[in-house]
Structure 1
Amino acid sequence: MLPSRRAPIVTQVVVYKVGSADETFGHTGAAHFLEHMMFKGTDQVPAGEFSRIVSRNGGRDNAYTTFDSTGYHQTIAAEQLELVMRMEADRMTNVRLTEREIVPERQVILEERRMRTDNVPASLLDEVVRERLYGLHKPYAMPVIGYPDDIRNLGVEDLASFYRRHYAPNNAILIVAGDTTTERVRELGERYYGPIARREIGPRLRPAQGGTDLPQKVVRADARVAEPRWSRLWLAPSYRVGETKYAYALQVLARLFGGTETSRLSRVLVEERGIGLSAWASYGASSLGLTSFDIGVHPAKSRSIEDVEQAVTAEMKKLLDGGVTAEEVERAQNQLLAAAIYSQDSLASGPRIYGTALSTGSTVADVDAWPQRISAVTRDEVLAAARHVWRDDGAVTALLTPAARGG
């Protein structure tokens, strides 16, 4: 329960501890496909009516699938919390999966993949990069939306089996944010989710190693590319797997090295030297398995990929040689903490943060302690984290370029 009295509205989020990384090769896309099918109705709520009922009551709803979780959320007037909780509990166990509904929805999902992946060169490149980084056919290597052939082959029994294995109250997290009380949420939760029988949930398996034969380089030349991109991804520990002691320092490192327009990469490569149009670094620690630390640059028109790679390598070397100050670390920490504070103004951000954490093995206490743990990161820990992750034997370099003339 995340109380807020700023407006007479509430957001309910139910997050299931299952995502695309819980699938197996040959059955990819099941988590995302099932997310779509959860809107296809029960005996109590006909197909398509869930969202229409929410809308008629002045609310909005949606859902998402990630590698590690699947979430369903509604934002609505506070007095309608019981309505959305009753409907969400109903589809936790009573969704109707029929061939009549699956066939047209399969085409919707295939079109979604065509629009977001097959027609986007950067997305096609990213799929290959993940396969190299995490290992072919391994969790996190396979796309959340699934491979096209798998989407075409998934049937009623595939989705029903996935639903039975993973959709149960003991494998879900209920988060309610907004203008209500803990007592009210507990009362409604016990009334609607309480009667649903628990199920045995199998272990969630994630490899502790990535792809083999690293480092690797992946190049995609495509006539549709208007803006080239150079990027490099390293296998990195998360909160749960690998050298987890580096997780907080890596967040600070990503922020100070390329997390903002005033960070090192942007300042040096974009503003001072004009090598790149933009530059960034990113890292996410909330993963049930290994994660990645990413650096990327869009080169300026007059600059080559070689110019970019040399410049990034030089900036990395400066940092690894000890060229990071306590002031720089403190500035990055303050930026991270400020962003976390601002996110509390949103009824969406708070539930998403807790949902992500609780679905990947962290606790409420871990989320609440995050500011203190970020604040405690030292300059030496940032350097140690960089030296641990920035190693050739854990990297994939990716180049996205326009197709050569005549190609």
Structure 2
Amino acid sequence: MVVLPSSRAPIVTQLVVYKVGSADEVPGKTGLAHFLEHMMFKGTDTVAPSEFSRVVSKNGGRDNAYTTYDSTGYYQTVSPERLELVMRMEADRMANLRTTEKELVPERQVVLEERRMRIDNSPSALLDEVVNERLYGRGQPYGMPISGTVADVEALTLADLRDFYRQHYMPNNAILIVGGDTTAEQVRALAEKYYGAIPARPVAPRRRPDHGAADLPQTVSRADPRVIEPRWSRHYLAPSFSKGESQYAYALQVLAQLLGGTETSRLWRALVVDSKRALSAWAGYRPNSLGLASFEVGVHPASSVTMADVESAVAAELSRLIDGGVSTDELERAQNQLLAAAIYSQDSLQSGPRIFGGALSTGSTVADVAAWPERISAVRPDEVVAAARHVCQPQRLVTSLLTPPPGSR
């Protein structure tokens, strides 16, 4: 249990994060975690189908849920006096979910429509699914789509959903995070009353390989008439806080920021401002992963620039950083930007709980979250260079090209 007291506004957010996500599925059963997320709103013996959200809304609150590779979260934002209400209802569906064929059939179409809207209608999202499959390996935990394949979702049964629910939905496989106008004592009393009454059950070990696909490097491409802005990007297998050479994780966060985190970053200045080769450029890295993570660099090329030119320009910037090092000034600027963003995120009653939920569901601790600013501030220039040298290697990358069809530009 984590409590994040804040008296800035008379509201509270409850977030329950289960330590299970799409990466805990098996080939042929993809989409289970996300489908079950939808079915969790379909009622219990005491709450009618779809009544959960209606009750929250009638009491002036908002609620929603999400599924990631490593976790599934359910949250409600309400006034403090309604915290007991939403905790009682959340505990009820943790233990007493009622799944029926009557509810499953129409919800399957909702899940498939959501996939069509978010993935099938987005050329970049479709390409990203292929990138993950090539980077981590076909049928591997992070190589399978979070929303599942259409064929798998169409074939999932009531028994599949019930089994997945029984295997993973229990208090000893969940994290309770409450932020807002309350106290640890008040939350603990409610948690013991509602979640404490639910029996614990054995939890199976979670599997995550310590390697990516065996046939790297690879290049994947998608030519799609819906593409307006072409995109060149490269994903490198990278350590996370939990897997691989995790000593590089903090330096990789700083590297992503100074390389492509803002419009003052190296890639932006070199490709957008100085050479006019790109419309935008970025880098990204998220170390909260139970398995290996990925480090991404990407560019939207200018209209007259080829993908080969972009690739050469990015490679030149990476070589310049690895061979020439990082200055103290740009290191401190990147660190300050990261620290400022973390401070701003505390203003949101959703961001704070989500940060803790993502960390605690992937092996980090409350102490790790608290120590993050100090560890980011302690990163040295030579550590950033060492992290870049470790990750930016050809045997650990997938390059992706997103373009309009030939002749359409």
TM-score (norm 1): 0.99
Per-residue deviation, 1:307: 1.5
Structure 2 residues without counterparts, runs of 5 or longer: none
Do the aligned residues in 1 keep the contact of 2:224 with 2:403 (CA within 8 Å)? yes
Q: Which amino acid aligns with 2:404?
A: P
The one-character-per-residue Cα deviations of 1:299-331 (angstroms, maximum 9, x if unpaired) are: 011211112111111111100102311111111
Distance across 2 between alignment mates of 1:322 and 1:280: 20
Distance across 2 between alignment mates of 1:336 and 1:404: 40
- The equivalent residue for 1:276 is 278
Provide the aligned length of Structure 1 versus Structure 2.
407
Per-residue deviation, 1:114: 1.0
Match 2:303 to one of 297, 301, 304: 301
Per-residue deviation, 1:93: 1.0
- The equivalent residue for 2:113 is 111
Give matches, 1:236-247, under 5 Å. Answer: 236-247=238-249
Distance across 1 between alignment mates of 2:215 and 2:84: 54
Distance across 2 between alignment mates of 1:220 and 1:104: 32
Distance across 2 between alignment mates of 1:383 and 1:273: 24
The one-character-per-residue Cα deviations of 1:107-138 (angstroms, maximum 9, x if unpaired) are: 01111111111121111111111111001110
The one-character-per-residue Cα deviations of 1:31-84 (angstroms, maximum 9, x if unpaired) are: 000000000011111001100100011100000000000000000011100000
Per-residue deviation, 1:398: 0.3
The one-character-per-residue Cα deviations of 1:207-232 (angstroms, maximum 9, x if unpaired) are: 00001111100011111111100000
Distance across 2 between alignment mates of 1:319 and 1:194: 52
Per-residue deviation, 1:104: 0.4
Distance across 1 between alignment mates of 2:83 and 2:129: 39
- The equivalent residue for 1:379 is 381
Do the aligned residues in 1 keep the contact of 2:325 with 2:382 (CA within 8 Å)? no
Give matches, 1:46-195, under 5 Å. Answer: 46-195=48-197
Q: State the SS of the aligned residue for 2:143.
A: coil
Structure 1 residues without counterparts, runs of 5 or longer: none
Q: Which amino acid aligns with 1:195?
A: A
Distance across 2 between alignment mates of 1:322 and 1:172: 46
Give matches, 1:9-28, under 5 Å. Answer: 9-28=11-30
- The equivalent residue for 2:320 is 318
Distance across 2 between alignment mates of 1:375 and 1:109: 43
Q: Which amino acid aligns with 2:20?
A: V
Distance across 2 between alignment mates of 1:295 and 1:29: 28
The one-character-per-residue Cα deviations of 1:248-287 (angstroms, maximum 9, x if unpaired) are: 0000000000011110111110011110000000000000
Q: State the SS of the aligned residue for 1:235.
A: strand
Q: CA RMSD in A?
A: 1.0
* Moved segments of 4+, more than 2 Å: none
Per-residue deviation, 1:242: 0.4
- The equivalent residue for 2:199 is 197
